[in-house]
Amino acid sequence: MKIHIKNGHLIDPKNKIDAKQDVYIAAGKIVGIGQAPTGFIANQTIDATDLIVAPGFVDLSARLREPGSEHKATLTSELQAAAAGGVTSLACPPDTNPVLDEPGLVEMLKHRAKQLNLAHVYPLGALTRKLEGKLLTEMCELTAAGCVGFSQADIAIIDTQVLWRAFEYAATFGYTIFIRAEDYYLAKDGVAHDGEIASRLGLKGIPTAAECLAIASILRIAHETKTKVHLCRLSTAESVDLVRQAKKQGIQVTADVSAQHCHLTDHDIGYFNSHANLKPPLRSTRDKAALCQGLKDGSIDAICSDHTPVNDDAKLLPFAEAEAGATGLELLLPLALKWAADNKASLSDAVAKITSQPASILGIAGGHLSLNADADIAIFNPQLEWKIEASQLISQGKNTPFLGLTLTGKMQYTLLHGQISYQG
């Protein structure tokens, strides 16, 4: 299938392109940028006037809920949501049921995803068996099956000896550890940021220290064991400082922030809105400002959706009893654009945070539109406003604190390997 994307504004941060350029696709690959290759005759033309043409987005964390939690969501529904959100590559955390700690499960997941042909799925394998924090998993076998890194999802490893050895073992083979740093005991049973809002609402708080103590430990361990570590979902100003310092010292660390945390704070809990129940919790205005600045100065490398679909019943409960998480694949684009608009960053910066940067963190091909790269492309209207409504969302999870709000930026076409996987 030969496709000509014409009149679009191309933004490809990796190749430093931010200009009007046409794109030519053949046999699922990019065969021309700006100029058609000789003899190119398009079967299909996409008119991208007033639209941005960008690499398909790369999401560092999207829960697909398979295997095990099909009542919350399925591969089909969530990969369709990914396509609708312009996400062509995503990493999924290992907290499925059963946990992704066996190569067979990983293979099955990859196989299913490939059949659906809606997005590339890169599983993160469990760092410890059943995520229990006691025994190591077969990281080599899991990598051979398709894992691009190892994670503990939201579960802390309490035994520091195990944590240390898991890092060392991963470092032996150069694997990256994706970890959401949080002290188990300080965060236990907490549901909100430990501050004035949680105190007023009578919600058990998770103090800032729970995150930055754990980050400080992990950075130390990573430094000494020479492990590549990626810190997931930073939420505090102090954490941003720690990562900034670590990078200055040359420690191999990258970090991301969830799209929600770029915009919301604990004030958004309002009258106990369970859609604002997230892990890590939404924190203070000061923390939010630091996270946005961290993205701007490169201390934080990427924005991810942290897509976590939750069924309605699990949210229709008093705040602390509700299941944490928000659906996010379809909001990644408008929220990334809003970060740029609110923080005087460029459109290209925003695109980098959801394409080239996360791709390099995952170590995958993708996140750029070089010649001969896979034609994974996101074409979007950066000016189009749309209201976030349950009926508009394709994900099975309708749980987002942005429900009822209007955001700017909507997908028009998503191409996966040169085929249109979504049309707006």
Partner 1 sequence: MYNPQLDNDGNLKHLLTIEGLPKKILTQILDTAETFVGVAERDIKKVPLLRGKTVCNIFFENSTRTRTTFEIAAKRLSADVINLNVGTSSQSKGETILDTVDNLIAMHADMFVVRHGQSGAAHFIAQHVPDNISVINAGDGRHAHPTQGLLDVFTVRRYKPDMHNLRVALVGDVLHSRVARSEIHALTTLGVPEVRVIAPKTLLPAGVEKLGVQVFHDMKAGLKDVDVIMMLRLQNERMTGALLPSAQEYFKTFGLTPEKLSYAKPDAIVMHPGPMNRGVEIDSSVADGSQSVILPQVTYGIAVRMAVMAILAGGNA
Catalytic residues: 306
Both tokens of 216, joined, read 């400080």
Query: Looking at beta carbons only, is 30 or 322 nearer to partner 1?
Result: 322
Minimum distance between the CB of residue 317 and partner 1, rounded to whole angstroms?
Answer: 7
How buried is residue 314: exposed, middle or buried, by Cβ count under 10 Å (0-12/13-18/19+)?
middle
Distance CA 424, CA 418 (A): 17
Query: One symbol per residue from 75 to 94: x for binding partner 1 (CB under 8 A), - otherwise; what is it?
Result: --------------------
Minimum distance between the CB of residue 195 and partner 1, rounded to whole angstroms?
Answer: 5
CA–CA distances in Å: residue 35 to residues 20, 21, 345: 12, 8, 30
Determine the interface stretch with partner 1 among 33-41, 48-56, 194-202, 226-234 (rule: CB under 8 A): 194-202
Minimum distance between the CB of residue 110 and partner 1, rounded to whole angstroms?
Answer: 36
Determine the interface stretch with partner 1 among 24-32, 102-110, 136-144, 317-325 (rule: CB under 8 A): 317-325
Query: Looking at beta carbons only, is 192 or 340 nearer to partner 1?
Result: 192
Q: Which distant-in-sequence residues (6+ apart) come within 8 Å of 219 by Cβ?
A: 229, 242, 243, 246, 251, 253
Distance of CA 173 to the CA centre of its chain: 24
Both tokens of 365, joined, read 């091909």
Q: Which of 38, 161, 271, 372 binds partner 1 (CB under 8 A)?
A: 271
Query: Looking at beta carbons only, is 198 or 393 nearer to partner 1?
Result: 198
Q: Is 189 in the site for partner 1 (CB under 8 A)?
A: no
Determine the interface stretch with partner 1 among 18-26, 153-161, 200-208, 395-403 (rule: CB under 8 A): 200-208
Both tokens of 135, joined, read 């025994």
CA angle 27, 115, 2 (to 5 degrees): 15
Q: Which of 320, 364, 403, 420 binds partner 1 (CB under 8 A)?
A: 320
Please spell the DSSP secondary structure of 175-235, one letter per residue.
PEEEE----HHHHTT--EETTHHHHHHTPPEE-HHHHHHHHHHHHHHHHHHT-EEEE----
Helix (H, G, I), strand (E, B) or coil at 340: helix
Q: Which of 54, 145, 187, 198 binds partner 1 (CB under 8 A)?
A: 198
By rule CB under 8 A, what count of residues binds partner 1? Answer: 20
Distance CA 316, CA 322 (A): 7
Q: Is the dihedral of CA 406, 201, 289, 152 positive or negative?
A: negative
Longest pairwise C-alpha distance within the chain: 69
Determine the interface stretch with partner 1 among 23-31, 114-122, 188-196, 403-411 (rule: CB under 8 A): 188-196
Determine the interface stretch with partner 1 among 110-118, 150-158, 212-220, 313-321 (rule: CB under 8 A): 313-321
Q: Which of 47, 313, 385, 389 binds partner 1 (CB under 8 A)?
A: 313
Region at 130 (left for phi over 0; alpha for psi -120 to 50; beta for the rest): left
Query: Looking at beta carbons only, is 189 or 297 nearer to partner 1?
Result: 189
Please spell the DSSP secondary structure of 360-399, one letter per residue.
HHHT-S-SS--TTSB--EEEEEEEEEEE--GGG--SS---
Q: Is 272 in the site for partner 1 (CB under 8 A)?
A: yes
Q: Residue 341: CA atoms inside 13 Å, Cβ hemisphere, count?
A: 12
Q: Is 321 in the site for partner 1 (CB under 8 A)?
A: yes
Minimum distance between the CB of residue 72 and partner 1, rounded to whole angstroms?
Answer: 17
Query: Looking at beta carbons only, is 266 or 376 nearer to partner 1?
Result: 266
Q: Is 207 in the site for partner 1 (CB under 8 A)?
A: yes
Minimum distance between the CB of residue 316 and partner 1, rounded to whole angstroms?
Answer: 6
Pairing of strands 3-6, 44-47: parallel
Query: Looking at beta carbons only, is 42 or 213 nearer to partner 1?
Result: 213
Minimum distance between the CB of residue 179 and partner 1, rounded to whole angstroms?
Answer: 26
Q: Is 424 in the site for partner 1 (CB under 8 A)?
A: no
Minimum distance between the CB of residue 95 and partner 1, rounded to whole angstroms?
Answer: 24
Minimum distance between the CB of residue 203 and partner 1, rounded to whole angstroms?
Answer: 5
Query: Looking at beta carbons only, is 400 or 414 nearer to partner 1?
Result: 400
Sheet holding 87-92, edge to edge: 57-59, 87-92, 120-123
Q: Which of 64, 119, 203, 259 binds partner 1 (CB under 8 A)?
A: 203
Q: Is 196 in the site for partner 1 (CB under 8 A)?
A: yes
Interface residues with partner 1 (CB under 8 A) are 194-196, 198-203, 205, 207, 271-272, 313, 316-321
